[in-house]
Amino acid sequence: MAPPKPQPTLRGAANVPRHFNGALTYAVVLIAVSQINFGLDQGIFSNTQAMPHFYRQFGAPDPKTGKYALDPVFLSLLNSLPFICFFLGLVQGSYISNKWGRRTSMHVMCVWALISAAVCVSARGRVQVVAGRMINYLYIGMELAVVPIIQSEMVPAPVRGFIVGTYQLGLGLGHILASLICRATSDIDSNNSWIIPYGCMFLIPSIILCMLWHMPESPRWLLLQGRDDAALASLRRLRVGRFTEEQIRDELASFRSTINVAADKGTWKEVFQGSNRKRTLIVCGVNVFFQLTGHNFVSKYGTIFLRSLNTFNAFSMSLINSCINTLVIIFTMFLSDMVGRVPLLITGASIQTAALLTMGGLGTAGGERAPLPIREGITSMVTLFGVGFNLGWAPLSHVVAAEIPTLRLRDKIYGLGSAINIIIQFLVAFIVPYLMDDAYAGLGPRVGFIFGTVAFVAVVFSWFCVPECSGRTLEEIDRLFLEGVPIRSFKTHVLADQEEDKGLQRNSESWPHKREDAKGAGWVDARAV
C-alpha cells in the first residue's frame, strides 16, 4: 500500500492550514526570516555602491568630469571576489549540514553574518569593504546549501512548492527592506548614508541565532544518521494535530524505504551514473539558466545602471522594482503547486527574453545619451525583466533543484548545481562592469542582447528537460526516475501502487461495506486529511 498523502486537488496555499501545526509553522517562518536577511544583505550591497558618499570613500575623481566614480576594476572585484567565499560557504554548509545537521549549519552561518556586518561597518578602505563582503558571502553560500534542502525535507508534498518558493519571497522582502533603508539614508550628507545600512545587517542574524534552538531537526537527516527514534519524534512534532499517528509512521516508513533503496548511492561517482546523471544535468542546467538570463546583471548592478540612465531617482526606482518583484513572487507561490513548475518557468523566461531583447534594441539609440523617452523605456524593461524572472526562475529554480535529487545524493547534487551557479555568478559579476563601461566594451543597455538570447534558450530547456513534479512526494519523484519515465510524462504517469489505490477507492465508493473496511484500516481517512 502506498504511503498516505493528501488529496492532490487541493494545492498550494489552500493546503497550508490543513498541513501546518505550530512547530512546522515556527520552523518555516524562522527559515523565511533567515532568507529575508539574505535579501537584505544583497540589497544593501547593491544600493550602497550607488551612493555619492560611497563613491567618495572608495572611488576616485573622474579626470574628465571631476566627479567621484568607482572604477570598473574595483567594482568588478567588489562584486565578483565574494563568490570565492560563496563557494567556500557552500562547501562548508553542505559538510556541516551532512555531518552535524541542518540546524547546526544555520547556527554557523548566522555567526558569519554577524562578523561580516562588523567588518563592513568599520570599513574605510577598499580592501576592508571587499573583505567584509567576502565574509558575508560565506554566510550566503551556507544559506544556499541548507535552506531549500531543509524546507523540502520538512514540509508535506502538496505544499512543498509553495513553501520552498518562500526562499525567493524572503529575498524579495529583504530587498524591499534594503531599498527602504537605503532610500531613507541616501540623502544623508556623510558616510552615515552607507554605514547605517551596513549596521542594519546585525539585527536579523542575532534574532535567528537565539531562536534556532527551538526548531526541530530534519527527520530525513536524522534517519540518515540512523537515529530512528529521534526522527520519529521530530516528524511527530512537525505533523501532530494535522496527521494521525498512523499517517506519521507511514510517512517515516516511506522516508526509510527511500533511504534503503538509495543506500548504495552515496558517492560522487554515483552522481553521474544511471538515473542520477539525468537528475544532475537537470539541476545543473537549472542553475546555469538561473544566472545567465540577466539576474546577476540586475541584482548586482541594477541601481548603478538606473543611476547612469538619469531618468528617475535610482533608489526610488529600486524600491519600486523590489515591491513589484515581491508581489509577483507571492503570486507565483500560489500558482506553483496548482499550475505546475514548467508552465511558470516557460512563461517567466519568455517575458525575460522579450524585456532583455527590447532593452538591447532601445540601447542601440545611444543608451545613457539617448533621448529621455528611450531611457525611460530602458528603465521600464528592467522592471518588466523583474516580473518575468520572479514569475518563474527566481522562486522555482530552488524548488526544482531541491526536489529533483535522490535523498541519499541530495546534498551532493544540489551542492554541485549550486557550485556551478556560483561560478557563473562570479564570471558574470566580473565581466559586466567591463561590458558596460565606455572605456572598455561600452555596451550599456545592449547587454540585453546577450542575456536575452540565453533567456530564449531557457524557454526551450524548460519545455524539454524539466520534469513536472508538482504534487509529487520526494519518494514518488525517486521512483519516476528509477523507473525511467520520460521527462514529459512525469505529470501524468501513474505509479503501480497508485493504480492499485485508485482501484480500491473506486471499489470503496461502489460498495459501502468495503468503504467501512477501508475506513477501519485508516486508509480512506488518510486520503481525506
d(CA 136, CA 62): 30
C-alpha cell, 153: 525535507
C-alpha cell, 515: 468503504
Count Cβ atoms within 10 A of the Cβ of residue 339 and give its class: 0-12 exposed, 13-18 middle, 19 or more buried.
middle
Count Cβ atoms within 10 A of the Cβ of residue 1 and give its class: 0-12 exposed, 13-18 middle, 19 or more buried.
exposed
C-alpha cell, 106: 544555520
pLDDT, tens digit, 9 for 90 and up, residues 74-117: 888 998 899 899 889 988 998 899 889 999 999 999 999 999 99
Asked whether the predicted pLDDT for residue 507 surpasses 60, the reply is: no
Asked whether the predicted pLDDT for residue 43 surpasses 70, the reply is: yes
Residue limits of CATH 1.20.1250.20 in the chain: 12-215+269-489
d(CA 472, CA 462): 18
Its pTM stands at 0.76
Q: What is the mean pLDDT of residues 376-399?
A: 89
Give me the pLDDT at residue 14, please: 61
Asked whether the predicted pLDDT for residue 522 surpasses 80, the reply is: no
d(CA 91, CA 144): 10
Owner of C-alpha cell 573622474: 62
285: number of Cβ within 10 Å = 20
d(CA 415, CA 92): 10
C-alpha cell, 380: 521600464
Count of helix runs (H) and strand runs (E) in the chain: 26, 2
pLDDT, tens digit, 9 for 90 and up, residues 291-327: 999 888 887 777 788 887 878 788 888 899 989 988 9
pLDDT, tens digit, 9 for 90 and up, residues 278-299: 999 999 999 999 999 988 888 7
Q: What is the 3-state secondary structure (H, E, C) of 360-400?
A: HHHHCCCHHHCCHHHHHHHHHHHHHHHHHHHHCHHHHHHHH
Give me the pLDDT at residue 394, please: 85
pLDDT band at 265 (very low <50, low <70, confident <90, very high): low
Cβ proximity of 217 and 229 under 8 Å: no
Cβ proximity of 150 and 102 under 8 Å: yes
List 60's β-bridge partners, or say none: 69
For the chain, the average pLDDT equals 83
Cβ proximity of 191 and 39 under 8 Å: no
Query: Residue 43: which of 300, 313, 291, 395 has the closest Cα?
Result: 300
Question: Any idea which architecture 12-215+269-489 has in CATH?
Answer: Up-down Bundle (1.20)
C-alpha cell, 1: 500500500
Helix (H, G, I), strand (E, B) or coil at 244: coil
Q: What angle do CA 443, 446, 451 make, to 5 degrees?
A: 115
